[in-house]
Amino acid sequence: MKEKIRLKINEQEYELPYEEQLQCSEETINEDLQNQPSLFAWYAVLEELAEAELQEAKLALDLVEAELDAHYRATLEKVTETKISNKIKSSEEYIKAKVAVNEARKKVGILKAIREAFSHRKDMLIALASNMRAQADPEIFIRKEKVKKDLANPL
């Protein structure tokens, strides 16, 4: 079974059959070439949505940190910066906000890797289509092989 991943971005769930979508072959080359731009765009859009979610999570973390900082400065006596920082980082609200940032960062990383794989897929599709055309025309194939041979042995 091909790998699928489920991501929730801004309360919307996506099931991403990226492994299946990255596949291609000579038998499906025309369909693969046609679908490549839209698949790349889809994952690029998802990555941007995840990046926006990451920025929102970072902002929420900053707000929690600022609120806790103000609270501890107002309620604690004889406080040091280290003590305030430790109180903030051990608070439940801060930990939840930090976990949200880490989760959002993970989503961005996953989608970035998938988008990059589609970029490599594009290059592979171009090479595959070129090879298929060259093999269909024996004269082009023979010239191409001669050029490769000449480049390998320039003397």
Q: What are the boundaries of each domain within the chain? A: 38-146
How far is residue 26's CA from residue 135's CA, in Å, rounded to a whole number?
Answer: 12
So what's the pLDDT on residue 135? Answer: 76
How far is residue 101's CA from residue 112's CA, in Å, rounded to a whole number?
Answer: 16
Tens-place pLDDT, residues 44-96: 999 999 999 999 999 999 999 999 999 999 999 888 999 999 999 999 999 99
Structure tokens at 6: 């489920």
Average pLDDT over residues 127-149: 78
Structure tokens at 142: 């023979």
Residue 141 has pLDDT above 70, yes or no: no
So what's the pLDDT on residue 140? Answer: 67
